[in-house]
Amino acid sequence: MLLSTDIWVGALIRRAQAEGAFATVARKGDDRAGTVLVKAVNLRERTARLYVEALRGDGERVWIQPVASEEEPTLDAYVERQARIDPDFWLVEIEDLLGRHFLTEPVENR
């Protein structure tokens, strides 16, 4: 990320809220360089997706789904494992009727 993480996260939350979604920081990490995980909850379908930033083979930064499941307990278990590996990560949770993630960067869906 080119911006510090806290500024980037704030912008993501504002984008989501401007479109009528509820967004919050569920876990605060390092202000300057923390990794960000985004959990997008689809309120209509009662499903969720988890996104994390990654580098593709060609060097482009993209967002991927590290877990194929749409079940919240499975995603939460992944987040717990991540916390043991990297205590400085952020978790942004977005609840939206359509399950939108509000990421402006490229997203590769499974």
Q: What is the pLDDT of residues 47-78, one digit of tens each?
A: 999 999 988 888 888 999 999 999 999 999 99
Cα 65 to Cα 7, 88, 108: the distances in Å are 23, 20, 8
The total number of structural domains in the chain stands at 1
Q: pTM value?
A: 0.92
Mean pLDDT throughout 22-39? Answer: 93
- Per DSSP, the three-state class of 67 is coil
CA-based nearest residue to 99, from 23, 48, 35: 48
Output the domain CATH number for residue 94: 3.40.1530.20
| HSE-up of residue 56 (Cα within 13 Å, Cβ side) | 10
d(CA 26, CA 93): 6
Mean pLDDT throughout 76-99? Answer: 96
Q: Which domain covers residue 102, as residue numbers?
A: 5-108
Task: Pick left, alpha or beta for residue 83 (phi over 0 → left; psi -120 to 50 → alpha; otherwise beta).
Answer: alpha
